[in-house]
Structure 1
Amino acid sequence: MGILSRTSYVIRSKINSLLNRAEDPTQTLDYSYEQMRDQLQDVKRGIADLTTQKKRLEMQKRRLEDNVEKHNEQARTAVQQDREDLARRALEKKKTKMNQIEDLERQISDLQSQQDQLIEQKDELQARIEEFRTKKETMKARYEAAEASSTVSEAMTATGEEFEDVGRAIERAEEKTEDMEARAAALDELHESGAFDDVLSDKDNIDRELEELSAGSGVEAELETLKSEVGGDEGESDAEPAGATEVDSEVDETELDDLESDVEDGEIEAELAELKDEESS
């Protein structure tokens, strides 16, 4: 196969492939049906033209028959008047007209045969057209049903291009939603752990631990001081003589009030230190 032949073959195959993809069977069937109807109309027009020609010949035949009758009367009249020459001429014309009539009858017979043949072809073609119309409507219904079924199947299986795009869009939306949920959970966890406070503050974990240790040691030192004061006051009250004066008693009550005040102040300081720790955490 030469280069030109191969090129022509490839081009024809490409064109045929494009035509197959672009072809709509329903439109092809409708077009074929219209073509057959056009052929039927052509056959009907041919029958009409043939019948017209036959009618013209029949009219011409009737005129000739009238002339034959006329020449026959002329010959009879000429014989009655002893004009044999005129009678002979009339009979010669009659013979000529009769020959023409015979020729016309053959032509009319041929046209009649053609007309009958065309009518049979017309009837056969019309029957085929009606049969084709029934098949056409059946094929169109089957094609449309198959097309609808294919569309539904593509929609159900998501194999169409549009449905594939929709599927990919849903997947991307799910991925973004999962990312946002994970980010929200991470932010909640960081907030609960205090990581956001550390970010906003200039202090790091070491500074916070040192502050907690310092506050704790201050509370412990104050607690030891309170314990020693309370223990010293109890020793002094046990060593007092039974005959202590009313003034000493008043002094002891004053010191006791001061001690209680110191204890309350210590508790307040401890609670305050705890609040500070909670705020710092």
Structure 2
Amino acid sequence: MSLMKRISLIFRSKANKALDRAEDPRETLDYSYQRQLDLLSKVRRGVADVATSRKRVELQVNQLQQQSDKLQAQAEKALAMDREDLAREALTRKSGVAGQITDLKAQHAQLQAEEEKLTLAQQRLQAKVESFRTRKETIKATYTAAQAQTSINEAMSGIGEEMGDVGMAIQRAEDKTAQMQARAGAIDELIASGALDDASSLNAGDDIARELEAMGSQSDVESELARLKAKSAPEAIEAPDEGSILEAEPHKHSTEGGAS
């Protein structure tokens, strides 16, 4: 297949698809029904025109018939007055009028037959139009119902997808909430263990409190250091009892007195 043929095929297929999307069957049915109504109206006008022509011919036939009767009476009157020439002239005119009447009657018969034919066609066409109208309304109602059902299904499908998104959002929110709760618990544990200062407890006296805590800690350190030194040093010589010293001193004085 040549390039131009392929391009033409693509354009035709896309145009056909676009027309399918743009076409509304209800509008197409209404348009077809309107066309049939227009055709029925033309047929009715045709029947009316033929009937009018037939009626006009009938009037002409009646007028010529009256004229023929008048000529007949004139011919008889002329003969009664011994005016054969006038009678002959009247009869001659009557003969011409009779020929016109014959032609008009033939035309009238044709018009009448045409009128009957058009009337029958009009009746048949009107029956078809009425049947088409009933079917059209049924198809339109069915199409409208199907369109509504399709819209509902599409809406329900959209709601399902949206609810799925909402479910995912809820899951993400729950996960984030659990993460925040775990973080808050960990911070509470750090604050309770002293590894992390509680910013909410800081005030103007925090410096003094920290200094006092430092002094207490230093005192504890010095006491522990002294205890460790005493424990690790050699045993000290036991000091003499104060009472024994007092007892020795009088003995010393008595000795000194005797010697003197």
Q: What does the per-residue CA deviation read over 1:100-123, in whole Å, with 9 as the maximum and x for residues that have no partner?
A: 111111111111111111111111
- The one-letter amino acid of 2:224's match is A
Q: What does the per-residue CA deviation read over 1:168-196, in whole Å, with 9 as the maximum and x for residues that have no partner?
A: 75366346524532441342143134279
Return the alpha-carbon distance in structure 2 between the equivalents of residues 76 and 2 of structure 1: 95
Counterpart of 2:224 in structure 1 is: 221
Distance 1:5 1:219, change over 3 A: same
Return the alpha-carbon distance in structure 2 between the equivalents of residues 132 and 170 of structure 1: 50
1:37 aligns with 2:33: no
Counterpart of 1:26 in structure 2 is: 26
Return the alpha-carbon distance in structure 2 between the equivalents of residues 216 and 125 of structure 1: 122
- The one-letter amino acid of 2:196's match is D
Number of paired residues? 214
Q: What does the per-residue CA deviation read over 1:6-42, in whole Å, with 9 as the maximum and x for residues that have no partner?
A: 6655544433221211111122222222222222122
1:153 aligns with 2:153: yes
- Indicate the structure (1 or 2) with the bigger Cα radius of gyration: 2
Distance 1:190 1:151, change over 3 A: same
Counterpart of 1:233 in structure 2 is: none
Return the alpha-carbon distance in structure 2 between the equivalents of residues 44 and 152 of structure 1: 45
TM-score of the two chains, using structure 2 as the length reference: 0.68
* C-alpha deviation, 1:65, in angstroms: 0.7
- The one-letter amino acid of 2:53's match is Q
Map residues 99-248 of structure 1 onto 2, 5 A cutoff.
99-158=99-158, 164=161, 166=162, 169-170=165-166, 173-174=169-170, 176-178=172-174, 180-194=176-190, 197=196, 218=221, 221=224
Distance 1:20 1:90, change over 3 A: same
Give the superposed CA RMSD. 3.7
SS in 1 for 2:196: helix
Return the alpha-carbon distance in structure 2 between the equivalents of residues 113 and 102 of structure 1: 17
Q: Give ranges in structure 1 of 5+ residues lacking alignment.
A: 202-210, 229-238, 242-281
Distance 1:222 1:156, change over 3 A: same
- The one-letter amino acid of 2:89's match is R
Return the alpha-carbon distance in structure 2 between the equivalents of residues 198 and 96 of structure 1: 138
Return the alpha-carbon distance in structure 2 between the equivalents of residues 83 and 216 of structure 1: 178
TM-score of the two chains, using structure 1 as the length reference: 0.63
Counterpart of 1:51 in structure 2 is: 51
- The one-letter amino acid of 1:190's match is A
Distance 1:96 1:223, change over 3 A: farther
Return the alpha-carbon distance in structure 1 between the equivalents of residues 24 and 34 of structure 2: 16
SS in 1 for 2:82: coil
Return the alpha-carbon distance in structure 2 between the equivalents of residues 172 and 77 of structure 1: 117
Tell me: higher relative CO, structure 1 or 2? Use CA pairs within 8 A at least 6 residues apart: 2
* C-alpha deviation, 1:218, in angstroms: 3.6
Return the alpha-carbon distance in structure 1 between the equivalents of residues 218 and 141 of structure 2: 91
SS in 2 for 1:197: coil
Counterpart of 2:65 in structure 1 is: 65
Counterpart of 1:236 in structure 2 is: none
Return the alpha-carbon distance in structure 1 between the equivalents of residues 173 and 32 of structure 2: 56
